[in-house]
Structure 1
Amino acid sequence: MRVLIFVLCVTTVLGFRHFQNELPNGAEVPHPCKANFVWWGVGHLNPRGGGRVNPFGVDFRNAGMKWTRALCEMDSDGDGETNGQELGDPDCVWTKGSVAAVTKDISHPGICTPYSDPACKEANAWVSCEIEDLKCDTFNEVGVKNMSLRIPRTFVPDAKTSYLCVKLDMPTDVDYHIIGLEPLIDNEHATHHIIMFGCEDQEEDVSETGVVVPCGMFTPQCPYQVLGWGIGVSRKCFQKTTGVRIGKTAYKKLMMQVHYSNPERRADFTDNSGLNVYYTPNLRPYDVKVLSVGSQYFEIPPGKPEVDIEGVCSSDCSSRLFTAPVYIATAKNHMHYMGRKQKLEQYRNGVWIRDITNVDDFEFDRFDAFHFDPPIEVLPGDELKTTCVFESSGKTTTTFSGDGTLDEMCHVLLHVFPAENVKESYCMTLKKYDLCKLINFPSEFPVIDGCKIKSIFNPFHPDMVSINSNLRKFCKPFDICTQECKQYITDMLSSNKCFSGDIVSVYRYLSVKHMSSSMDMWAAIDSCKTEIEMETCQQQCNVVEDGNVALTQG
């Protein structure tokens, strides 16, 4: 019988999640002593909701489970601030479905704050500041060593979201398997997550180890995600038959990427966080690899109770990316604060086999990891479908997929083995398009939606050389729209399918991200974008007017 372990014992909160919408900033109430944690069940003693209620929960229930002026003007926790002041509705005018007057510096209306104030100590005796622990017996096995990998003490960038990276040398006397980790968090107010990437062994790589540099979410030199820590995780241990190989014949360098969330843009934050990594020379049977599935490029409109996003590792892609059967040891759902539900399904020959993950009460700061013993077999040609459900009721602007905490993601991270059976570290979609067809196998899928994929991602292809040459000749990027530029772009939009329809946004996204030279091309196109759109609109208006005249005369 398959044993499925859901790393945290999840309290059922389906009956309470909808109450968040009855309160201003109901899904944004912070935990008073766990940095970056959200107290999802605002009226409950349990941060996840369910069970006994706290002082605010008592008053909320007495108010008929609705936000009323009387409830707003109360001070449920007795800390001197009204419930309205703590939840961002100081004037008690908020109505359900609207955005609160204040969306920053929210505090919990049922917990006396500041939490560290001696006057609050007795009232807050029930509040737990401990992070759930996970035991890893394998850390005590004979031969197991550990090394502390930290980012050198540095200032945290004064930006809402930022990434800093540092390359670190690994032991290279023999091969080792990393079998687990523990977080070493120095600045819990800013450190959002830490990821370790394997670096390719390149002789021409002269970048220094131990030097902190700004970076993005992915870097070409170190593209292979191997380890990770996120909010709510105390430690992580791999399945006993797997490990991440480092050393003599494997990764000799790892890049530590630290993601900081600094919404107040404080300039005085410093950090020295990292990971305590456990490793052993007693190699396990299999090398493990992280495979990301889901959707990489999407938008979430504001003011919606539910927005479904789907991402598929298609049969076409898995049959090319997997050279033989692979086995899933662990699966971890990943969205950000707007995420509400997420599941990963496995299909074979179009027939549903199983839900690999299925979480109906997703919480960003809860570590939803599924461990499988025995592991789940995935064959080349199987389809892995990820579905993410987001809520944007409290948003007034569109939210995009992206690297930042305030952006969104729709990924499932899979620890799979044997690592050598998987060619890439991702199998995802961008909008409705398979990423593998665009990036990995353009020769096998040379034309998609009429767009010649193989040529547009090659700046030296004759078609692209001609396009860039003409844009330089006719256009003035970041300047005026010339008549000859507008005519050339208009002709190009009508004749080249890569610059029209759904594919153009995906092409632009990938080209800007992976080919810096494409920036000039898009700047030239944008120089006449407004004029072309206005001219097209006028032509359409003229057609409508002519049609109305004809109907009148008829």
Structure 2
Amino acid sequence: MTPPGYMCEFILISNTKLRVTKVIIIYKARITADADSKTIIKTLNEHNHGVNQQKVESQQLRVRVRKASNITARPSKIIRTELQVIVEGILRTSLRIPATSIPSKQTSYYCMLFRLPRNDTFHLVGTKPIIDNKDITHHILLFGCNEQEGQIIPSEETYECGMLAHRQCVNIIGTWTVGSDGDCFHNSTGFKIGSSGFQTAALQIHWNNRNRIPNMTDSSGLELFYTPNLRQYEAGMFAVGQEYLNIPPRVPNISFRSSCSSACTEVMFPKGVFITRAVNHMHYKGIQQNIEIYRGNKKIRDITHEEEYTYDKPVFYQFDPPIKIRPGDEIRTTCTYSSLSSNETIFFGEGTSDEMCYGFITYYPAQNIALPYCTTWKTVEKCKRYMPQFGGIIDGCRWKDFLSGGNEYIGFMMIELAMHCDTTCSSNCTEKVRNLREHECLSGDLGDFMIFKLQRKYPSISLIKDCFRENKSDNHCKLASDFHWQELEPERKLELAEGSCTCGGDQTLHRLIKAILLERNIFIA
């Protein structure tokens, strides 16, 4: 385990003042730590950078990482952003957003697309944060973009993006969070960028404007350290964790668990991989988190074991030698929370007042994974939803087809609810709902997930969940208190209900469902 603040030597030297005042070292020079001053001068002059030999030698120029702590004079001058300083073959460049207005709302995600160096193949070996607005910036992620589906044009300004930076940019290759000084990757690995790697990246910044302060700006970003001297292995990163959280108020501790199952690791890591680094991620109600490896239902070891989790003091677990993950191993994640200070139920969400349960794991060799998330929603595995080896089928349910707008069963289901359910979960309604939930896509946790995905589009579908509960026949169906319904804008409620319906006002649930059916055009001719 490496404490917070651990930095690579090449990142340390990037902050160190050099003894040279006018020498510009650009990446084309390919100057190594072993080059003497004459070689350096010759190489620089070949690139039209006139250098006085006596000045260089008198300043005792040595581009050596091991002597970084002894270098004390003024920094070298970099005249253009495209020029990178070489130290032991390490190049650097900065990806930084222009000064951007921060919205006066609590949670905002803004992104920007950047072109990465692409005149050669490189390994990204470290990152360092460039934080402008320290009070608001919550975390930064850098995603490598897959351009097989089409070229991505770098953006000239930021755009509001949410947690998904870009649909073609899902591979995490750089991270920063509050309390971290930067990332240093294992010395035998790097993320491939350039001519045969990621050529474009999406930089995502999360602002936490808790007090909704107006008229603030931010121009944060990441400094990247990369090298043309490719390392032995290509690095990758994947996430584990639970994406369904429902934390009741005022409880001292409550835990949620997730499994990256043996079936998933079989297809994600068919030849096995090696873990070099891991970090836990929850928000401010998180108090403890563990990630464990199981083999044949027997615990092998911990990946992380954080008994006292503190969001602002992240712990980075470094492994040398790396941890072997075999195909068929299970990776279990447990997140524990305390809500004693909260008077409201806390759900999974993007804001820091919401909660998360993730573990980010760096490994090698990188695998060709469509979506590098081995997370779950309750017990529904994202791996089985997106890995092509599973054919888009979970427990007999073709989930994408079921969620598509033209699904006839959804139309049938909504008509059945309109005909048999009023504003209460009567015995007739409850029986009908139980019959509807016998569909392979509506049973168990998978059924709850489907309802969760559908109820923003069809708010009244929450009846399928509420009226399915045992012994609920005399209870109100709670459509009016459904938090997804309440989140809709008033105009949207009017549009759906064809009136001033507030679900319990002057419109019946029957009329509301009919309005939704009409608006969605899902009546079958």
TM > 0.5: yes
Q: Could you tell me which of 359, 384, 387 is aligned with 2:306?
A: 359
Contact 2:269 2:367 in 1 (8 A): no
Out of 310, 329, 332, which is 1:385 matched to?
Answer: 332
Is the counterpart of residue 136 in structure 1 residue 132 in structure 2?
no
CA contact (8 A) 2:437 2:447 kept: no
**Residues in 2 aligned to 1:232 and 1:151: alpha-carbon distance in whole angstroms:** 21
Q: Out of 462, 467, 472, which is 2:409 matched to?
A: 467
1:403 CA drift (Å): 1.8
Q: Which is further off, 178-187 or 467-476?
A: 467-476
Report what 1:74 is aligned to.
none
1:291-314 per-residue CA deviation (whole Å, 9 max, x = no partner) reads 111212221111111111111111
Q: Secondary structure at the match of 2:302?
A: strand
CA shift, 1:133, in A, is: 6.0
Unaligned runs of 5+ in 1: 9-131, 513-517, 541-554
**Displacement, 1:326?**
0.3
TM-score of the aligned structures, taking structure 2 as reference length: 0.68
Once residues 244 and 235 of structure 1 are traced to their aligned partners in structure 2, the CA distance between those partners, rounded to angstroms, is: 15
Contact persistence 1:169–1:209 (CA under 8 A) = no
Task: Measure, in 2, the Cα distance between the counterparts of 1:461 and 1:194.
Answer: 33
Unaligned runs of 5+ in 2: 14-64, 66-86, 424-428, 477-525
Aligned amino acid, residue 9 of structure 2: C
Whether the 8 Å CA contact 1:345–1:385 is kept in 2: the answer is: yes
1:222-241 matched pairs, under 5 angstroms: 222-241=169-188
Name which of 412, 415, 418 aligns with 2:365: 418
Give the superposition deviation at 1:228.
0.4
Preserved CA contact (<8 Å) 1:489 1:525: no
Q: Is the 8 A contact 2:451 2:461 kept in 1?
A: no
Question: 2: distance between equivalents of 1:356 and 1:539?
Answer: 45
Determine if contact 1:438/1:453 at 8 Å carries over to the other structure.
Answer: no
| Structure 1 residue 505: Cα displacement | 2.3
Q: Does 1:196 pair with 2:134?
A: no
Q: Which position in structure 2 is the counterpart of 1:17?
A: none
* Equivalent AA in structure 2 for residue 243 of structure 1: G
| Displacement of 1:465 | 2.6
Q: Given that residues 471 and 524 in structure 1 are in contact (C-alpha distance below 8 angstroms), is that contact kept between their aligned partners in structure 2?
A: no
Q: How far does residue 242 in structure 1 lie from its aligned partner after superposition?
A: 0.7
- Asked if 1:523 is matched to 2:459, the reply is yes
Contact map agreement 1:155 1:271 (CA 8 A) in 2: yes
Instruction: Note the C-alpha offset of 1:163.
Output: 0.1
Mapped pair 1:259 → 2:173: no
- Map of 1:339 onto structure 2: 286
Tell me if the contact between 1:326 and 1:421 (Cα under 8 Å) persists in the aligned partners: no
Asked if residue 506 in structure 1 is aligned to residue 449 in structure 2, the reply is yes
Is 2:249 the partner of 1:249? no
Instruction: Determine if contact 2:140/2:176 at 8 Å carries over to the other structure.
Output: yes
Q: 2:108 aligns with which of 139, 162, 181?
A: 162
The partner residue of 2:260 within 305, 313, 317 is 313
Aligned residue pairs, count: 399
Per the alignment, residue 71 of structure 1 pairs with: none
SS of the residue 2:407 aligns to: helix
Q: Which residue of 1 aligns with 2:521?
A: none
Cα contact 1:313–1:385 (8 A) shared by 2: yes
Counterparts of 1:384 and 1:534, CA distance in 2: 33
Query: Aligned-pair distance for 1:536?
Result: 6.0
Amino acid at match of 1:523: P
Distance 2:198 2:142 in 1: 11
CA deviation map 1:470-515 (0-9, x unaligned): 4687889xxx98xxxx899748625425335433222234x45xxx
Show CA shifts across 1:207-241 (max 9, x none). Answer: 54232110111232211111100111112211111
Match of 2:320 among 373, 389, 402: 373
Partner-residue secondary structure (3-state), 1:504: helix
Partner Cα separation in structure 2 for residue 288 and residue 7 of structure 1: 22
SS at match of 1:239: coil
The 3-state SS of whatever aligns with 2:135 is coil
Q: Is the 8 A contact 1:165 1:257 kept in 2?
A: yes
User: Partners of 1:237 and 1:535 in 2: how far apart?
Assistant: 55
Q: Say if 1:345 and 1:352, in contact at 8 Å, map to a contact too.
A: yes
Q: Distance in 1 between matches of 2:149 and 2:381?
A: 33
For residue 400 of structure 2, the aligned residue among 457, 464, 467 is 457
